[in-house]
Structure 1
Amino acid sequence: MKFKLLIAAAALVAIAGTASAQIKPEEAIKWRQSGYGFMAWNMARIKMNVEGAAYNKEEVVKAANAIQAIANSGMGALYLPGTDTGTGWEKTRAKPELWTNKETLGKVATAFNKEANEMAKVAAAGDAAAAKDQFGKLAATCKGCHDEFKIKQ
Structure 2
Amino acid sequence: MLEQQRRWILYLACFLLPYSATQAASEAQDQVEYREGVFHVMAWDFSQMKRMLEDESRYNAEDFQRRANRLVDMAKMLPEGFPETRPKRVKTDAKKQIWENWDDFQQKLNDIESKAGGLAEAAASGNKESVTKAFGAVGNSCKGCHDEYRKD
1:25 to 25, 28, 31: 28
TM (normalized to structure 1)? 0.75
Q: In 2, distance between residues paired with 1:82 and 1:119?
A: 31
TM-score normalised per structure 2 = 0.76
Equivalent residue, structure 1, for 2:125: 125
Alignment deviations for residues 81-114 of structure 1 (CA, whole Å, 9 cap, x no partner): 3367644xxx310011001012321321121111
- Contact 2:86 2:96 (C-alpha < 8 Å) held by counterparts: no
The number of aligned residues is 127
State the Cα distance separating 1:70 from its structure 2 match.
Answer: 0.8
Which structure has more RCO (C-alpha within 8 Å, separation ≥ 6)? Answer: 1
| Aligned pairs for 1:106-117 within 5 A | 106-117=106-117
Preserved CA contact (<8 Å) 1:25 1:82: yes
Q: Deviation above 3 Å: which 4+ runs of structure 1?
A: 83-87
Instruction: Give the structure 1 partner of residue 61 of structure 2.
Output: 57
CA contact (8 A) 1:64 1:116 kept: yes
Preserved CA contact (<8 Å) 2:123 2:131: yes
Alpha-carbon displacement from aligned partner over 1:37-96 (angstroms, at most 9, x marks no partner): 0000010011111121222111211110110111123x2122223367644xxx310011
Query: Between Structure 1 and Structure 2, whose CA radius of gyration is higher?
Result: 2
The equivalent residue for 2:137 is 137
Letter in 2 for 1:34: G
**Distance across 2 between alignment mates of 1:146 and 1:84:** 22
Separation of aligned partners in 2, 1:96 and 1:79:
11
Is the partner of 1:64 in helix, strand or coil? helix
Q: Aligned pair in 2 of structure 1 residues 84, 146: CA closer, same or farther (>3 Å)?
A: farther
Asked if 2 retains the 8 angstrom alpha-carbon contact of 1:28 and 1:83, the reply is no
CA 125–35 in structure 1, closer or farther in 2 if over 3 Å, else same = same
For structure 2, the residue ranges without an aligned partner over 5 or more in a row are: 1-23
- Could you report, residue by residue, the CA deviation over 1:16-57 in whole angstroms, capped at 9, with x for unpaired residues? xxxxx9x81111111100000000001001111112122211
Return 5+ residue gaps in structure 1 as ranges: 1-20
Look up the match of 1:98. Answer: 98
For the structure 1 residues 122 and 24, does the alpha-carbon distance in structure 2 shift closer, same or farther, using more than 3 Å as the test?
Answer: same
